[in-house]
């Protein structure tokens, strides 16, 4: 019965998004971009019926928030252990074939350490030169502890430019490589505010599974 609830396609990823703090439909879509809106609606309804999540209306017209119930929160160990297992036993080269800049940037924004930035508005621009014009440029704006992600130029002065292939940035995020190694190899270039560049390894939002090391035979 438990498997019927949590093992249907995409359900574990929807729960992972909610365990990471996502509560609204459009944000859930950004966290699971390959999932259709129709199927997401269906899965949310199923999880509500199973008592795993609850839906509440906000003060805004038509805006609903989805939150984990006690039963849903109790799944944290189960869901997060899947990520730990994947980091240990799934070939990293397979993961690096499934690249998605929107998903990478969404997770980086969520895990970024805003407290590591100066007490002023800061803008970091990421550029993935091999991608199409519509997908190659991303901006993260940090202001008063709030972190926003933009796929369209927000119009602020850029403090730090991060330039390099999506594959290399994803490898850093996954913990397969390090920012230091990629910069020294010339794969990722950091230009602009030198203090932000030096501290990037501290404020960069990595995967929560990045500390886990692969256990596959080399």
pLDDT digit string (tens) for 35-59? 999 999 999 999 999 999 999 988 7
Mean pLDDT over the full length of the chain? 93
Rounded CA-CA distance 158/71 in Å is 44
- H-run or E-run covering 81: helix 76-89
Rounded CA-CA distance 187/162 in Å is 11
Query: What residue ranges in the chain does DSSP mark as E strands?
Result: 53-57, 64-68, 122-127, 137-143, 146-150, 160-163, 189-192
Please tell me the predicted confidence (pLDDT) of residue 69: 97
For residue 76, with 0-12 CB atoms within 10 Å meaning exposed, 13-18 middle and 19 or more buried, which class applies? middle
Distances (CA, A) of 81 to 74, 77, 177: 13, 6, 22
121 vs 62: which has the higher pLDDT: 121
**76-89 and 11-19 helices, crossing angle to 10°:** 110
Alpha-carbon torsion, ordered 207, 208, 213, 215, to 10 deg: -100
Please tell me the predicted confidence (pLDDT) of residue 218: 59
If one counts every other C-beta atom within 10 angstroms of the C-beta of residue 67, the result is 12
Among the residue ranges 86-95, 178-187, 206-215, the one predicted with the least confidence is 86-95
> What's the pLDDT band for 60 if we cut at 50, 70, 90?
confident
Residue 217 has pLDDT above 80, yes or no: no
DSSP state of 158: P
Among the residue ranges 95-99, 126-130, 191-195, the one predicted with the least confidence is 95-99
CA 25 to mean position of chain CA atoms: 16
Compute the average pLDDT of residues 52-69. Answer: 90
Percentage of the residues of the chain whose pLDDT score is greater than 90:
85
Compute the average pLDDT of residues 18-40. Answer: 93
Residue 1 has pLDDT above 80, yes or no: yes
Please tell me the predicted confidence (pLDDT) of residue 171: 94
First to last CA, the chain: 38
If one counts every other C-beta atom within 10 angstroms of the C-beta of residue 86, the result is 14
């Amino acid at each position: 019965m438990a498997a019927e609830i949590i093992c249907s396609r995409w359900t574990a990823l929807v729960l992972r998004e909610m365990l990471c703090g996502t509560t609204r439909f459009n944000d859930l879509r950004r966290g699971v971009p390959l999932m259709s809106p129709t199927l997401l609606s269906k899965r949310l309804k199923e999880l509500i019926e199973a008592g795993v999540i609850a839906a509440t209306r906000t003060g805004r017209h038509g805006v609903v928030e989805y939150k984990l119930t006690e039963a849903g929160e109790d799944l944290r160990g189960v869901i997060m252990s899947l990520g730990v297992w994947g980091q240990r036993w799934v070939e990293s080269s397979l993961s690096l074939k499934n690249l998605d800049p929107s998903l990478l940037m969404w997770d980086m924004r969520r895990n970024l350490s805003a407290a590591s930035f100066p007490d002023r508005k800061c803008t970091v621009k990421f550029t993935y030169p091999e991608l199409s014009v519509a997908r190659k440029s991303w901006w993260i704006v940090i202001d008063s502890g709030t972190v926003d992600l933009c796929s369209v130029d927000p119009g602020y002065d850029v403090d730090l430019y991060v330039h390099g292939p999506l594959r290399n940035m994803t490898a850093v995020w996954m913990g397969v490589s390090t920012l230091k190694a990629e910069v020294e190899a010339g794969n990722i270039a950091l230009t602009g505010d030198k203090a932000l560049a030096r501290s990037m390894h501290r404020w960069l939002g990595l995967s929560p599974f990045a500390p886990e090391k692969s256990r596959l035979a080399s």
